Structure 1
Amino acid sequence: MVGPNNLLYAVSIRSESTFKRFVEVGRVVLLRSGPHAGKTAVIAEIIDHNRAIIDGPATGIPRHAFPYRHLTLTPFRLPKLPRGAGSGTVLKQLTSEGIVEKWNKSTWATKRTAIEKRKSLNDFERFKTFVAKKSRRDVVRKSVKAAKKA
């Protein structure tokens, strides 16, 4: 490559990309907005640079176009899913790969469910949680103090 002052310089080319999640057919996505927010679906077809057709037969999401800006790409994907696959094919692939179970066991999904559970607590349940945390903190503090003495 020719640079300033007509000197040749080498360009380092990285063979491996730093990105691991790509918008591709078969990618499992998490919906961030809309009536199905918080559920997962699969990209069945790419429409253009802004939208894709998603389908979630295992999670109750109908097949429809959805913008990328309201999706979050997950690390899960269906590698053998053909372009434009129907809901039946997507459902077969999801069940054979066990993607829904893998998603439910992932730390990402468990954190989301814990946050949703915390948001749904009423006043008395929040108080009980506060008291339980306080008693746990006291037990830990006393055991650490006893361990320092010993």
Structure 2
Amino acid sequence: MRRSIRPFKRFVETGRVVFITDGPYKGKTCCIVDCVDQKSVLVDGPETGVPRQKLRLSQIHLTKFKINFPFNGPTKLVRKAWKKNELDDKWSKSRWAERFLNKHKRAALTDFDRFKLKRARSIRNKIRSEEYKKLLKRLYNPIRKTLRNKRAKKRAILKKSKNAESGKKK
């Protein structure tokens, strides 16, 4: 059975949840209500505080979430579908939202907070390196012992053969 290969999974379509990357509502989510033209869409975010407005496609990122409501539905229907699908919870659990929050936390750090973070990371890395070295040592010690034993056996064999050869020559 042959599957069709679809290169894209996120389409500009009614009900697609988008993340706004530019403008006064940067960092908020909303959903597409209608496609205006090739470069812009009508969006609405009643639960996130984004009013119904036209946005350029260059100002948004398409997410994997999609809700169902009628084409060009009013804000009331969009709000109802948003709550029904529990998009606020889904969004807050997504990796995208976590990265966005972490980025803002890092941007809000003071000089002293950055210094403390640097020190904590260096301490963590030292502990990690020591544990890694212990694991390597525990792993490679038996291998080294077997290699030493093999080398010792080879040396003994070579020594015996040299002694045997030197005894024959005399």
Fold shared by both chains (TM-score > 0.5): yes
Partner of 1:112: 100
Give, in whole Å, the separation in 2 of the partners of 1:67 and 1:149: 58
Q: Where do 1:7-46 residues align within 5 Å?
A: 15-46=4-35
Assess, with a 3 A threshold, how the Cα gap between structure 1 residues 15 and 132 changes in structure 2: closer, same or farther. Answer: same
- Name the residue aligned to 2:59: 70
Spell out the pairing of 1:94-113 with structure 2 (5 A cutoff): 94-113=82-101
Runs of 4+ in 1 over 6 A off after TM superposition: none
How far 1:147 moved relative to its partner?
2.0
Q: Cα offset for 1:15?
A: 3.9
Aligned to 2:76: 88
* Structure 2 counterpart of 1:125: 113
RMSD: 1.3
Inter-partner Cα distance in structure 2 for 1:16 and 1:143: 45
- Structure-2 separation of matches of 1:124 and 1:146: 33
What runs of 5+ residues in structure 1 fail to find an aligned partner? 1-13
Q: 1:63 to 1:145 in 2, by over 3 A?
A: same
Deviations 1:71-113 (A, max 9, x none): 11111001x2111111111111111101121111111111111
Equivalent-residue separation in structure 1 for 2:134 and 2:7 (angstroms): 48
Deviations 1:93-145 (A, max 9, x none): 11110112111111111111111111111101101110110110011111112
Amino acid at match of 2:22: S
Distance in 2 separating the partners of 1:17 and 1:135 = 47
In the other structure, the counterpart of 1:59 is 48
May I ask how many residue pairs the two structures share in their alignment? 136
Partner of 1:141: 129
Identity across aligned pairs (percent)?
Answer: 37
Q: Normalized against structure 1, the TM-score is what?
A: 0.86
Normalising by the residue count of structure 2, what TM-score does the alignment of the two structures yield? Answer: 0.76
How far apart are residue 146 of structure 1 and its match? 1.9
C-alpha separation between the residues in 1 aligned to 2:84 and 2:22?
28
Alpha-carbon distance in 2 for matches of 1:16, 1:139:
46
Higher relative contact order (CA 8 A, sep 6+): 1
Deviation at residue 48 of structure 1 after TM alignment: 1.5
1:35 is matched by which residue type in structure 2? P
Structure 2: gaps spanning 5 or more residues: 139-170
